[in-house]
Amino acid sequence: MFKRLLLGAALSICATAQASEKTFEIVYQGAYSPDFEVFLPDWKLTVEVTVNDLNNDGSYSQGELSRLKVDELEYRGSCSAVDCVENFNWTAGSLPAFTATYRRQTYWGGDLMYEQRNTLVAGVDYHLYAWSYTSGIQSDFTWQWTDATTTTVTDISPVPEPAQYGMFAAGIAGIAALARRRRA
């Protein structure tokens, strides 16, 4: 009886197990600036991505992306008026492919005062556009990926606390004690 109960508990734990979220830091280093016609080796763009492989197929799709953060853009699973990820696809062993946009408009007294748009097409380019309607000053910069651009992907997911394993062990011990008590 004890073995059956223990096996049943183990099977129920396995059945309810889910893939866990993973967070990655993606750093793009070096880009070509068509605005200044020069390669900038020190240029760096850091993207933080949180994904969950819900179907356990080893790749991540748009529906498995729960967070993407880069500069002002912070996408949290669905597009808003400010942040949006139009597409996302990432297979293990490759680099993620996605298009993300950030758009913010600032109003004062009902008048549009400032607008900013950032667009990131991973592996292609990063574009920043800002316009002040009051001063007429505009900024329009593009950084493009080249063969010299390096990309590093680091898993920065939190490691489970030892207390979680202790709680799991205590639960199994409790089930075992209950089974032993019922058998006696």
Domain boundaries, the chain: 1-20+161-184, 21-156
**Residue 176, pLDDT score:** 81
pLDDT in tens, 165-176: 666 777 787 788
pLDDT in tens, 103-131: 999 998 888 899 999 999 999 999 999 99
Task: Find the mean pLDDT for residues 155-166.
Answer: 74
- Distances, alpha carbon 101 to alpha carbons 78, 80, 127, in Å: 12, 10, 9
Tokens standing for 87?
A: 């597409």
With CA atoms as reference, report the closest residue to 11 among 159, 166, 175, 162.
Answer: 175
- Classify 6 as helix, strand or coil: helix
**Residue 15, pLDDT score:** 43
Task: Find the mean pLDDT for residues 1-5.
Answer: 58
Give the CB-side neighbour count of residue 88, counting CA atoms within 13 A.
23
49 vs 6, more confident = 49
Asked whether 55 and 30 are in contact (CB, 8 A), the reply is: no
The yes-or-no verdict on residue 159 having pLDDT over 90 is: no
Asked whether 46 and 25 are in contact (CB, 8 A), the reply is: yes
Is residue 183 very low, low, confident or very high in pLDDT (cuts 50, 70, 90)?
Answer: confident
pLDDT in tens, 48-88: 999 999 999 999 999 999 999 999 899 999 999 899 999 99
Residue recorded with tokens 């593009």: 142
The yes-or-no verdict on residue 145 having pLDDT over 90 is: yes
**Residue 180, pLDDT score:** 81
134 vs 4, more confident = 134
Question: What Rg value do the Cα atoms of the chain yield, rounded?
Answer: 24
The yes-or-no verdict on residue 42 having pLDDT over 60 is: yes
Q: What is the pTM of this model?
A: 0.75
pLDDT in tens, 10-41: 545 544 444 589 999 999 999 999 999 999 99
